[in-house]
Amino acid sequence: MGDRSTQLFQEACRYFPGGVSSPVRAFRAVGGDPFFVSHASGSQITDVDGRSYIDYLGSWGALILGHAHPRVVAAIQKAAEAGTSYGAPTEGETRLARLVQAAFPSLERMRFVSSGTEACMSALRVARGFTRRDGLVKFEGCYHGHADSLLVKAGSGALTLGVPDSLGVPADLARHTLTLPYNDLEAVRSVFAGRGREIAAVIVEPVAGNMGVIAPRPGFLEGLQAITRQYGALLIFDEVITGFRIARGGAQERYGVRPDLTCLGKIVGGGLPVGVYGGRADVLEQVAPLGGVYQAGTLSGNPLAMAAGIETLTLLQAPGFYADLEAKGRRLADGLAEAATAARILTQTNRVGSMLTSFFTGVPVTDYAAAKTSDTARYGLFFRAMLERGISLAPSQFEAAFISAAHSGGDLDATVAAAREALGLMAG
């Protein structure tokens, strides 16, 4: 890395574990030290040493309009002038809720929180409170934030760090979480046949993003809906990544399956900290002050965050917005796949809309076990070679690349050209 980044990282290590505020940012999975960001605009992110990169991290998928969209920035500035937090209701919350519900009709009622973690943790508590059951089914490699019950065989940082169960999670709590292979409906059926009446909910990333991108097999999501209904459990779609990403109405629109509860995050806050959980009115009416499930937040519904979310979701309504992202996604995925073929390097490029992962493996990737066959050292080489060529990818094999509306055709072509060089070097 550049001198200034190196210096800042060394100093940060004196304050933060690993020098970072969130583990994957430390680049441990790809080697080398992270670059420190100075500023970003559109598809470009610039480090403190003055190097610019075409950015496919997009704040982990949050920035579907690209960095510092002028209208989003203006909305935040205007909101800030009227006060940054009140701890009292505002019209902005209702306006954002209206936009969320227009895209996700299944959210009959909702709550704003400040992160995806909080959204998933709260959805799970409501599901347990509503069903009066403790059991939870989740899938291997899916990440739902870092609440205790959900950090069991989690993907994302936990996956690459090789700590599927975090220290500090009580075994007594973790035993309520049953973890099954993604896309394996038979496994779900058999667990429900044995313990179905103890299970409060099934939580799933309807397109997995946190073990790299993996699409649901045809019938998988429909099957989860049928099984949960049969046993009186709730189906929770964690659409923190997929919401407003793979369609305006997320996976539930794209695949036509309506869950009981949904978690949103990332895009919905337009780059500011927002999470949402919501769903069936009868379930959400269990939440305080109406019901006995407690959940609250000092900064929930924060006016700056609401303003950023409103402006972002409004801009997503532009005609052809998702068709354009789909076309860009296809162009990049095809280009990367061709570059790998030309270099005779085995990869599997999985893509849904504008999120994609090239796994360094010859095995079709449909679940966590297959994702784990990837050559992560090779991914590290690729990542660093791309960074040297001005392309910033996710610093782990088990993440997605995110395309934003700000990526131009020229950006995509430059990325494919860089990949051809990088993969060519790796092959040679």
Q: Annotated catalytic sites, by residue? A: 143, 238, 266
* CB-nearer residue toward ligand PLP: 5 or 397: 397
Q: Check residue 395 for interaction with ligand PLP (CB under 6 A).
A: no
Query: Which residue number is nearest to ligand PLP in terms of Cβ?
Result: 116
Min separation Cβ 312 and ligand PLP, Å: 15
The answer to whether the CB of 355 falls within 8 A of the CB of 400 is yes
User: How many alpha carbons lie under 13 Å from residue 66 in its C-beta half-sphere?
Assistant: 17
Min separation Cβ 299 and ligand PLP, Å: 13
Q: Check residue 19 for interaction with ligand PLP (CB under 6 A).
A: no
For strands 199-204 and 177-180, give the pairing: unpaired
* CB-nearer residue toward ligand PLP: 5 or 183: 183
Min separation Cβ 115 and ligand PLP, Å: 4
Stretch that binds ligand PLP, among 26-34, 39-47, 140-148, 224-232 (CB under 6 A): 140-148
In single-letter form, the type of residue at position 328 comes to K
Q: Which one-letter DSSP state was computed for residue 400?
A: -
How many Cβ atoms sit within 10 Å of the Cβ of residue 417?
14
- Omega into 289 within 30° of 0, i.e. cis? yes
Min separation Cβ 118 and ligand PLP, Å: 7
User: What count of residues does the chain have?
Assistant: 428
The values of phi and psi at residue 113, to 5°, are -130, -170
d(CA 30, CA 224): 35
Q: Check residue 29 for interaction with ligand PLP (CB under 6 A).
A: no
Min separation Cβ 245 and ligand PLP, Å: 10
Q: Check residue 205 for interaction with ligand PLP (CB under 6 A).
A: yes
One residue of 265, 278, 335, 353 binding ligand PLP per CB under 6 A: 265
> Among 339, 324, 322, which residue's Cα sits nearest to residue 418?
339
Q: Check residue 396 for interaction with ligand PLP (CB under 6 A).
A: no
Q: Where are the beta strands (DSSP E) in 48-123?
A: 52-55, 109-113
Q: Check residue 144 for interaction with ligand PLP (CB under 6 A).
A: yes
One residue of 238, 253, 260, 326 binding ligand PLP per CB under 6 A: 238
Q: Which tokens belong to 417?
A: 């050209």
One residue of 9, 104, 139, 143 binding ligand PLP per CB under 6 A: 143
Q: Where are the beta strands (DSSP E) in 341-407?
A: 348-352, 355-359, 391-392, 401-402
Give the three-class secondary structure for 331: helix
The values of phi and psi at residue 45, to 5°, are -125, 140
d(CA 275, CA 256): 23
Residues between 52 and 111 that touch ligand PLP (CB under 6 A): 60
For strands 234-238 and 199-204, give the pairing: parallel
Q: Which tokens belong to 77?
A: 């500035």
Stretch that binds ligand PLP, among 47-55, 121-129, 141-149, 280-288 (CB under 6 A): 141-149
Number of residues that bind ligand PLP (CB under 6 A): 15
One residue of 92, 145, 223, 380 binding ligand PLP per CB under 6 A: 145
Please spell the DSSP secondary structure of 72-114, one letter per residue. HHHHHHHHHHT-S--SS--HHHHHHHHHHHHH-TT-SEEEEES
* CB-nearer residue toward ligand PLP: 92 or 116: 116
* CB-nearer residue toward ligand PLP: 140 or 205: 205
* CB-nearer residue toward ligand PLP: 60 or 220: 60
Residues between 110 and 139 that touch ligand PLP (CB under 6 A): 115-117, 120
d(CA 90, CA 82): 12
| Strand order from edge to edge, sheet including 199-204 | 109-113, 275-279, 261-264, 234-238, 199-204, 135-139, 177-180
Min separation Cβ 61 and ligand PLP, Å: 7
One residue of 149, 183, 210, 347 binding ligand PLP per CB under 6 A: 210
Stretch that binds ligand PLP, among 5-13, 101-109, 235-243, 407-415 (CB under 6 A): 235-243
Please spell the DSSP secondary structure of 256-284, one letter per residue. T---SEEEE-GGGGTTS--EEEEE-HHHH
One residue of 64, 110, 234, 240 binding ligand PLP per CB under 6 A: 240
Q: Check residue 209 for interaction with ligand PLP (CB under 6 A).
A: yes
Min separation Cβ 7 and ligand PLP, Å: 28
Kindly list the residues in this chain that would bind ligand PLP in the complex (CB under 6 A). 60, 115-117, 120, 143-145, 205, 209-210, 238, 240-241, 265
